[in-house]
Amino acid sequence: MAQRKLVVRKYNMSDADLSRHCSLIRMFVLRDILDFMNRGVNDDSLEAFHQQRSDWDDFDQDVTMVGTIMEATENKDASEEKLRLALRTYRTMVHNKWGINHRNYRVYKFERLHHTTDDILHRLARTVRLVAPRHLADLATEGLTQDMLDNIEQLDIQFELDMDLQQNAQTEREIQTQQRIEMGNNLYKEMMRLSNIGKDLYATTNSARYRDYIIYNEPSTKKPKEEKALEPKKTSASSKKKSS
């Protein structure tokens, strides 16, 4: 299956600035609605633009998803520690019974216990769950019971579940981040459409209103050259005399 192409932000301003600019543009268009109606913009389309911004503002912020991931990670780490401790106790029993060079010790590959990778720890637990019942009678002298093996199984099941929940939270964050970026891009596109109409309407007739529709799409305060208002040319009295 082809991997979905990542959505890239098409605006340089912050989300807060985008929301603020959208509110301002809407306010200016409401003021100039009679002129905009000749360009296909009416109260309904303006209300749709307002709803588009509201939906985007209300969409889960990334900080919410980060909190969910942190909680899932904390739960996974707690499950991991409990499982690691139980496996360490079992390893000690096997070590004391047969020694590290015995085949009954080597079959478990207890060196995986020193790794920090979740998948490796999970594989070790699965091996213990598969092989340990065969050694239950032999390790009874070391204190091994069926309850201890059942506990390892339950700890591993919970650990696997918490790993999945953590991964799901990370995946959900990626999906929602992409959705929010796409919504922001669409909102920015509509805002710029209204902005361009406003600039076109007032480029040569009203420099003040022209400036109202300028959007500075960059993080700095430097104004793009192409966004300078086109002031109507004024003819001085002295030039009139010379021409006469």
3-state class (DSSP) for residue 242:
helix
Write the DSSP string, 132-189: GGGGTTGGGGGT--HHHHHHHHHHHHHHHHHHHHHHHHHHHHHHHHHHHHHHHHHHHH
Token match 């091994």: residue? 144
202 by Cβ neighbours in 10 Å (0-12 / 13-18 / 19+) ranks as buried
Provide long-range contacts, Cβ within 8 A and 24+ apart, for 172-181.
172/65, 172/68, 173/62, 173/65, 173/66, 173/68, 173/69, 176/59, 176/60, 176/62, 176/65, 177/62, 177/65, 178/6, 178/7, 179/59, 180/56, 180/59, 180/60, 180/62, 181/7, 181/8, 181/9
Confidence band for 232, pLDDT divided at 50, 70 and 90: very low
Name the least confident of 57-66, 75-84, 113-122, 194-203. Answer: 57-66
Summarize pLDDT for 157-185 with one digit per residue, the tens: 999 999 999 999 999 888 888 999 999 99
pLDDT at residue 5 greater than cutoff 60: yes
Pair of tokens at residue 83: 């499982």
Q: Where are the domains of the chain?
A: 14-244
Instruction: Report in angstroms the alpha-carbon separations of 187 from 5, 50, 51.
Output: 20, 10, 10
Amino acid at 153: E
pLDDT at residue 229 greater than cutoff 50: no
Amino acid at 8: V
Which pLDDT value is given to residue 183?
A: 95
pLDDT at residue 102 greater than cutoff 80: yes
Name the least confident of 88-102, 103-117, 178-192, 199-213. Answer: 103-117
> Which of 244 and 67 is assigned the larger pLDDT?
67
Are 210 and 230 within 8 A, CB to CB?
Answer: yes
pLDDT at residue 235 greater than cutoff 50: no
Confidence band for 221, pLDDT divided at 50, 70 and 90: very low
Summarize pLDDT for 112-151 with one digit per residue, the tens: 898 779 999 999 999 999 999 999 999 999 999 999 999 9
Q: For 193-216, what is the mean pLDDT?
A: 95
